[in-house]
Amino acid sequence: MLLETEYTKVLIDLGINPSGGEELPYLKYLPPLEEIDAIILSHAHADHSAGIPYLYRAGYDGPIYMTEPTLDLTTLIQNDYLNLAEKRDNAIYDHNDIKKMIDNAQVLEYQQTIDIGKDLKLTFYNAGHILGSSIVHINVADKYVFLFSGDIKYGETHLFDPAFNRFPQVNSLVIESTYGTTKMPDRAESENLLINKIKEVINRGGKVLIPVFAVGRSQEILLTIYNKKTEDWNIPIYIDGMINEALSIHTTYLEYLKKDIRQQILQGLSPFNWDMIKIVKSKDKSSILKEPSIIMATSGMMTGGPVLEYLRLLAEDEKSALIFVGYQAPGTLGSKIQQGIKTIPMRINGDIKEINIKMEVVTIEGFSGHSDQDQLINWINGFRTIPKKIYTMHGDQAVTLEFAKKLKNIFKTYTDAPTNMERRRLK
């Protein structure tokens, strides 16, 4: 998203398309890079951050603003994305471009205000989505407040406090709409469903494969299992991919976590060091499939990463189960399997072979780091004054349109659902 004022141009987030295809389809519409004064990064997820090094490759040499944990996580995610892209021979930048971004990064704490242009002041607020995720608050010339929600969670999670919403004045709000037409199941019910399904699969001699995002979802699922465990719990949890590195970053930034988790870690009782958690280091995935177990592996939408090797090994095992606990973008392999596809092509030893999906496929909603419709509405309700303009984004087109209509009816304010590459005059 490009925000332009009389004196300043700032770019907010630049991710890659998780569904494949043209990964950075809109860059040709940007102004010349030398005209961009700053980049603001709301959080580290690849659909918000993984395209940024390309700008440094293309000649941008200005600052990028984010929180400190976002910098660590973004670097981790970008390097992982690059490693996968290099294997596919379609990398759009290299490790030097990631280093350029790091060298230009300026980190802010929550509620710290900084001038980022002649007429712009930037403040980050807790978004409750993942570690270090931010709501972007921009004060324009001390006369106008622009607020970008980023991805927000205004609800209970194990890791973070709910998104901040006590804003005294907001003139224009841009709000995510991922689940803008959805009501999420009760979180406690979702956790019980997950634990019961795991026990059911293990009792019949199967394995549980859970595709997860390394940042956010993997930590929530680990904490759910840890909190629900019984004294006789003997089911090992294998984690593969970037999850272990992400866990280490979480324990580095304790001040961003909820108080009870922070205290557990400080007392040496970290749920992330539970003895049932096993770090997979071997490239031979079959060696860990000799006993009933839970396997948590990246990537969360099954677009690459170690989860694909586990899928290849377990797909035809009717006793095992594939459990989705996160959003599957249309067009991704995860989405196709979730929707019922029974045969998929996979590359095995250089050859393409058909794999039959015979394992049980389960989707358990309720673990999302995004807010559902009720939570998004309640988040806005916490503002001290309702914004004069609300723009819905970050969702399927039909969802953003319907959510905009819903907000108009509730708050009696101007709402709009711009499509990609459309411009809006905010004032």
Amino acid identity at 21: G
Q: What backbone phi and psi angles, to 5 degrees, belong to 164?
A: -65, 140
Q: Residue 15's pLDDT band (boundaries 50, 70, 90)?
A: very high
Orientation angle between helical segments 68-88 and 243-252, nearest 10 degrees: 170
Q: Residue 305's pLDDT band (boundaries 50, 70, 90)?
A: confident
The helix/strand/coil state of 288 is helix
pLDDT of residue 19: 66
Q: Residue 20's pLDDT band (boundaries 50, 70, 90)?
A: low
Domain residue spans of the chain: 2-182+369-416, 187-363
Class for the domain spanning 187-363:
alpha beta
User: Measured between alpha carbons, how far is 330 from 339 in angstroms, rounded to an integer?
Assistant: 10
Q: What backbone phi and psi angles, to 5 degrees, belong to 157?
A: -135, 170
Q: Please, what is the average pLDDT of the chain? A: 93
User: Measured between alpha carbons, how far is 197 from 73 in angstroms, rounded to an integer?
Assistant: 31
Say whether pLDDT at 375 is over 80: yes
Q: What is the mean pLDDT of residues 111-134?
A: 97
Say whether pLDDT at 22 is over 80: no
CA dist list (Å): 361 to 16, 213, 358: 27, 18, 9
User: What does the pLDDT look like over 47-74, one tens digit per residue?
Assistant: 999 999 999 999 999 999 999 999 999 9
The helix/strand/coil state of 294 is strand
Say whether pLDDT at 190 is over 90: yes
- Are 161 and 110 contacting, i.e. CB atoms less than 8 angstroms apart? no
User: What does the pLDDT look like over 282-299, one tens digit per residue?
Assistant: 887 888 888 899 999 998
Element spanning 377, H or E: helix 373-381
Task: For 159-219, give the DSSP string.
Answer: S-PPPP---S--SEEEEE-TBTT--PPPHHHHHHHHHHHHHHHHHTT--EEEE--TTTHHH
Amino acid identity at 204: R
The helix/strand/coil state of 128 is coil
- Are 244 and 332 contacting, i.e. CB atoms less than 8 angstroms apart? no
In the chain, what percentage of residues exceed pLDDT 90?
80
Q: What backbone phi and psi angles, to 5 degrees, belong to 84?
A: -65, -40
In the chain, what percentage of residues exceed pLDDT 70?
99
Say whether pLDDT at 21 is over 70: no
- Are 192 and 397 contacting, i.e. CB atoms less than 8 angstroms apart? no
| pTM for this predicted structure | 0.92
Buried b (16+ CB within 10 A) or exposed e, 43-78: bbbbbbbbbbbbbbbeebebebbbbebbbbbbbbbb
Say whether pLDDT at 118 is over 90: yes
- The domain made up of 2-182+369-416 has a fold known as Metallo-beta-lactamase; Chain A (3.60.15)
